[in-house]
Structure 1
Amino acid sequence: MPQPTIVFDFDGTLALGHGPVIAYAKHVGLAAQDPGLVDDARAALERLDAGDGRYRDGYDAVRRVALARGVPETALGPAYLASRQELGTQDAPVSAPVGLRDFLAALAQHALLVLATNAPEIGVDRVLDQAGVTHLLAERHFSIGKPDGLTAVVAQHVTHGPVLAVGDIWMNDLAPAAVLGADTALVGATARSTDADPTMRGSTLADLYGEITSWAATAVTGPTASTGAVHPHGKA
């Protein structure tokens, strides 16, 4: 019998809040000896939250601010890794979408749950453990190099049944999956402003609990994405 699979992004999807991004900005500012960088980064994040489409996500906003202030590109990687060491601590706090544990626990009865993220493994399991959801994710893939790296993850599962990709950046988290016939769920600030056409969209993952649960419960009742045909909840 076909097996539905749901592939989740991490930052901006399962882990919410600008805490880690502000930590990144602080480390960049320290490395560049530029205390004003953090204030500019906060302003950029406010624009992102308001729907400004110039930034892919918070990390991209900080990167653009830093480069505009003359910070060398070589300083950004070490600052990012330093901020990830703090992920899920008081120095880089995050929150899970409301009701995430119960949602994933119910969802796991109908679908295989997979994590696929560009982030390194550093700190991620700490956040997942805090949310009580680590054991519900059948696979966890780190530093996969989206968008190209997502193709391999989705291709592995789309031959076994319908796939739904969930994330906050269309080009990274969803577009490669859509090419392979997967359904897509776009969350976050760009869900309001994008010109893309995801299967479903919401301000946060919690807004889509009902739609995703319905998808998982009924996705295998029609032709699967691997046949190239349209199944009841989206486009092939």
Structure 2
Amino acid sequence: MTPTIVFDFDGTLAVGPGPILAYAKLIAPAAGADFFDRARTSLLAFESGASEYRDGYAIIGALADSDGVDPEITQAAYYASRKLLGTDQAPVSTMPELADFLQELRAHARIVLATNAPADGIDAVLTSWGVDDLFDEMRFTIGKPDGLIALVTEALAAGPVLAIGDIAEFDLAPAAELGADTALVGATAHTSPAVVTLRGRFISDLRSDIHTWAATAASHNTASPDASSSLER
């Protein structure tokens, strides 16, 4: 039996508002006055936990809709912004020592990247982080939440699964319904009512817990975290 860890990309492995601000900037010429400033203010509120949106992209999309922006313009802006991913126009960062972390996990589990985003820009970012060859599988434009079902079902047939992401209803709920464990990260990690196995603002906050999950799953034992662990029961 082989455990599998499924990582989301945006808001999970890749953090920072750069790509979302690039998206907003590309929409701005077709939107109302001060669109970019309003977008930036709304994103700051989201990052502080003072927003009910699922993620930053949903915020920008809602603002564009309210300004009457043609959906085709919004979609084109999204795809154009993805081509800027990882550049000075759409910078992202990741957890410290990501390569070491993934190498540690690979000793116990398969590592899968599953994202709704297109591949544009992601390969280059992963290469710049030195982790492009550390995923056993990468799936783009997977169509979460429904698109996650087949992947997790297949992985569960081989062993335990841990799904990690920043949008509970997209990245985690389909996996949890199938019996997988879940880890919620990102701006909603401490405010979401979702029932998850682990939660923390950043993956780095959960590094030890995720490693423990992988090692335990590989040995077919049940982890018994101490009182300081962020594992939920």
TM range (shorter): over 0.9
- Equivalence for 2:172: 174
- Equivalence for 2:68: 70
Deviations 1:192-217 (A, max 9, x none): 11011110000001100000000000
Secondary structure in 1 matching 2:217: helix
Deviation, 1:33, is 5.5
- Equivalence for 1:98: 96
**Which stretch shifts more, 98-107 or 147-156?**
98-107
Matched residues in 1 for 2:33 and 2:85: separation? 21
Matched residues in 1 for 2:216 and 2:189: separation? 24
- Equivalence for 1:198: 196
Secondary structure in 1 matching 2:112: strand
- Equivalence for 1:115: 113
Deviations 1:6-53 (A, max 9, x none): 0000000111100000000001113x0646111011011011011134
What is the TM-score when the length of structure 2 is the normalising length?
A: 0.93
Deviation, 1:181, is 0.5
Q: Show the 5 A alignment for 1:73-222.
A: 73-222=71-220
Deviation, 1:139, is 0.2
- Which amino acid letter does the alignment assign opposite residue 4 of structure 1? P
Deviation, 1:71, is 1.5
| Structure 1 residue ranges (4+ consecutive) displaced by more than 2 angstroms after TM superposition | 220-223, 231-235
Secondary structure in 2 matching 1:135: coil
Secondary structure in 2 matching 1:164: strand
1:15 to 2:14 alignment: yes
Deviation, 1:222, is 3.5
Matched residues in 2 for 1:157 and 1:232: separation? 20
Matched residues in 1 for 2:119 and 2:167: separation? 19
Sequence identity of aligned pairs in percent? 51
Matched residues in 2 for 1:124 and 1:34: separation? 31
Residues 31 and 69 in structure 2, CA contact (< 8 A), matched pair in contact too: no
Secondary structure in 2 matching 1:192: coil
- Equivalence for 1:226: none
Matched residues in 2 for 1:53 and 1:200: separation? 22
Residues 18 and 91 in structure 2, CA contact (< 8 A), matched pair in contact too: yes
What is the TM-score when the length of structure 1 is the normalising length?
A: 0.92
Residues 99 and 206 in structure 1, CA contact (< 8 A), matched pair in contact too: no
Deviation, 1:127, is 0.8
Residues 8 and 165 in structure 1, CA contact (< 8 A), matched pair in contact too: yes
Matched residues in 1 for 2:129 and 2:33: separation? 33
Secondary structure in 2 matching 1:48: helix
Secondary structure in 1 matching 2:68: coil
Query: RMSD across aligned C-alpha pairs, in angstroms?
Result: 1.6
Provide the aligned length of Structure 1 versus Structure 2: 226
